[in-house]
Structure 1
Amino acid sequence: MKRFISIRGSAIIALALIVALMITGCSNGKAGESKGPITIGSKIDTEGALLSQMIIAMLRENGFQAIDKSEFGPTQVVRKAILSSEIDMYPEYTGNGAFFFDETESEVWKDAQKGYERVKQLDKETNKIIWLKPAPANNTWAIAIPKTLADKERIRTLDDFATYVNRGGYVKLIGSEEFVTSPVALPAFQKAYGFSLKQDQLVTLSGGNTAQTEKAAAEGTDGVNAAMAYGTDGSLTALKLVVLEDTRGVQPVYEPAPIVRQEVFDKYPEIEGILGPVFNSLDLVTLQTLNAKIAFEGQNAADVAKSYLTSKGFLK
């Protein structure tokens, strides 16, 4: 009888040890319960898709359940989504803080570090949104025209462009609704340089895909000969487009950064360490190259993101 009790007792102890080990493994290991879920959104443009896919891939690599809602909508839609907790995170541009907080007249947004510190402070205090460190690449709004037009009319700057418009030169510009209407985009250019485009001189798109706008300007689609562009676009040279120089420094600095709801960040502060090195590696040339793979070569944003992250050792 004693022998039976001893064996039974040993079995119970062994079973207890197995259960304890299983619990420990589930709480500490990647194979256990995943962290999250965290819902990732982005704007409807090439770079937004690229950056959101990088965020998704890195979070999944580090044991998070990441829900993909990339290319969710234009700035206003994505911004509303994070403020209402419909999404938890998305890549945003520091310069948009000027618009979010009605500070478009402030010079602070034209300084990369000061602009970042300002939007980081305001968004945390006002909306409980945390800004992680941005990439060192200025993806500012720009206007691009075909090199043939630039050479023929000697247009190199927005001053030159304004002179051309005001003397009756033919212009048909294509851009997103945001570019056409946002006080910090086309209206800011028009105000600073003293020109105005009429409604029949504009082709307005719902999304901000510059691959579409630049291609239209390069090919003269429906008479288009000017396009909304971004500083990090990679297809400008290949399409033989010239970006007009903003000699008056109208535009804020637009560096892309992951932003996340504070509730999520407080629960998972390690996100900063996961994404920080990735965004720090994305300089202007790198983003131009990666964007070109998507916009010009037709590659899938998720594939481009994963390939880059793997090549840099961020993904195994």
Structure 2
Amino acid sequence: MRSTLTPALAALALTALTGTAHAQSSDPVVVSSKIDTEGAVLGELIIQALEREGIPTENRLQLGATSVVRSAIQAGEIDLYPEYTGNGAFFFDMTDSPVWNDADQAFETVRERDADNGLVWLRPASANNTWAISLREDVAKANDLVTLEDLADYLADGGEFKFAASAEFVESAQALPAFQQAYGFDLSADQLLVLSGGNTAATMRAAAQQTSGVNAAMTYGTDGGLNALGLVVLEDTLGVQPIYQPAPLVRESVLEAYPSIDPTLEAVFETLDLETLQRLNADVAVNGLSAEQVASDYLDSLDP
């Protein structure tokens, strides 16, 4: 979601693409995605859903990081890809705006701003792939911990807690300090295991294996390994973190050529709640299935 490539690599990726800026009804819809697991899953869902409705597609999945696919759709080199509402904060230089902490406002903002760019945001999934604090499921159940408010009460009562996170998460004003300020708790140094890098696979593994007494981890909301490793996301009831809901982003001219894209993809994305997207990601990242097979099986399950 937040990975980057150098301008040179981005330019190279774009050079390798072909396409036109204007869509005709006979042209295939060029579908792309970011290079991570969730990008592959969402991209395959889009391609296969469109193909099942008789809309021709061209597969350009796993193209690159956010900057690459964003540049490609603006240049008309790709037509459609899954993007996250919260990334509008960076697209439109609005990182200090509170609109990103509200799902509806975030969606309306990106939809209105990108309309000027000839881009249309379709209805997002309810799943939120944002920074989160996750806890071992056994600890959460034993102590009735569902929300971060519950966690604050648990900590105030002296509950056992050790948190694995990246240095960025611990130090960034928008991450752990924001959670602590909003919910009124303060983790001491001996309650933290700070790991180099920002790989949530490492933090989740530390919690699952109880490395150095760790029972909680920095994660993203839709991380595929959560269920497999026995971790649960504690709900951010105060909306501290920006909302990152995945949504199809399509060029306006392509949507005009294929208006059925909208209802077709809405029918799929409206089913993608947090647990569902976690499970689909896990089928790829943990169980070793291909994104193509996972998408096919899921769409089959949606058929009446």
Question: TM-score of the superposition, structure 1-length normalised?
Answer: 0.66
Distance 1:86 1:222 in 2: 49
Distance apart, 1:185 and its partner CA: 5.3
Matches of 1:197 and 1:100, distance apart in 2: 36
Quick one: distance in 1 between partners of 2:239 and 2:126? 18
The amino acid of 1:67's aligned partner reads: N
CA distance in 2, matches of 1:294, 1:239: 14
- In the TM superposition, 1:143-222 aligns within 5 A as 143-146=133-136, 172-174=164-166, 189=179, 201-205=194-198, 210=200, 213-219=203-209
Q: State the alpha-carbon separation in 2 of the partners of residues 218 and 132 from structure 1.
A: 37
Cα shift at 1:105 = 3.6
Aligned letter for 1:82? I
**C-alpha distance in 1 between matches for 2:44 and 2:129:** 18
Query: Match of 2:7?
Result: none
Percent identity over paired residues: 48
1:122 and 1:233, CA in 2 relative to 1: closer, same or farther beyond 3 A? same
Pairs within 5 Å for 1:153-302: 172-174=164-166, 189=179, 201-205=194-198, 210=200, 213-219=203-209, 227-233=217-223, 235-246=225-236, 248-302=238-292
User: Structure 1 residue 123: deviation in Å?
Assistant: 1.4
Task: Choose the corresponding residue for 2:84, options 93, 99, 106.
Answer: 93
Q: Partner amino acid for 1:231?
A: G
Question: For 1:237-285, what per-residue CA distance to the aligned partner results, in whole angstroms no more than 9, with x for missing partners?
Answer: 4413343453542113322110012343333333213212111222333
User: Take 2:171 and 2:59, find their aligned partners in 1: how far apart are those partners?
Assistant: 31
Quick one: distance in 2 between partners of 1:51 and 1:254?
14
Q: 1:36 aligns with which of 16, 28, 35?
A: 28
CA distance 1:275–1:307, shift in 2 (3 Å): same
Corresponding residue for residue 39 of structure 2 = 48
Cα deviation, residue 183, structure 1 = 7.7
Counterpart AA for 1:254: Y
Aligned CA distance change for structure 1 residues 279 and 172 (closer, same or farther; 3 Å): closer
**Are residues 121 and 265 of structure 1, via their aligned partners in 2, closer, same or farther at CA, if it must alter by over 3 Å?**
same
Give the counterpart of 1:83 among 74, 77, 83.
74
Deviation at 1:122, TM superposition (A): 0.8
Does 1:133 pair with 2:123? yes
Name the CA distance, whole Å, in 2 between partners of 1:284 and 1:297.
Answer: 18
2:28 alignment partner AA: G
- 1:105-120 maps to which residues of 2 (within 5 A)? 105-120=96-111
> How far 1:136 sits from its partner (Å)?
2.6
Q: Say which SS state the counterpart of residue 267 (structure 2) adopts.
A: helix
Q: Is the 8 A contact 1:173 1:224 kept in 2?
A: no
- The reply on whether 1:70 has 2:62 as its aligned counterpart is yes
Q: Residue 121 of structure 1: CA displacement?
A: 0.3
Which 5+ residue runs of structure 2 have no aligned equivalent?
Answer: 1-24, 156-160
Question: Residue 133 of structure 2 contacts residue 233 of structure 2 at CA under 8 Å; is this kept in 1?
Answer: yes
SS at match of 1:119: helix
| Cα pair 2:29 2:80 within 8 Å, conserved | no
Q: When the two structures are aligned, how many residues end up with a matched partner?
A: 271
The C-alpha deviation readout for 1:142-188, integer Å capped at 9, x for no partner, is: 13354688899x99876868x98xxxx9765249x8x7999865675
| Equivalent residue in structure 2 for 1:121, among 112, 116, 132 | 112
- The separation in 2 between residues aligned to 1:78 and 1:195, in whole angstroms, is 39
Which structure is higher in helix share? 1
Write the distance in 1 (CA, Å) between the matches of 2:170 and 2:73.
24
Deviates more, 1:269-278 or 1:143-152: 143-152
Question: Shift of the alpha carbon at 1:227?
Answer: 3.9
After TM superposition, give the deviation of residue 83 of structure 1 in Å.
2.8
Closer/same/farther in 2, CA of residues 275 and 170 from structure 1, 3 Å limit: closer
Q: Which one of the candidate residues 283, 295, 305 is aligned to 2:295? A: 305
Deviation at 1:291, TM superposition (A): 2.5
Could you say what secondary structure the match of 1:67 adopts? strand
SS for the counterpart of 2:28 is: strand
Once superposed, what is the RMSD of the aligned Cα atoms? 4.2
SS of the aligned residue for 2:123 comes to coil
Letter in 2 for 1:219: Q
Q: Which ranges of structure 1 fall in alignment gaps of 5 or more residues?
A: 1-32
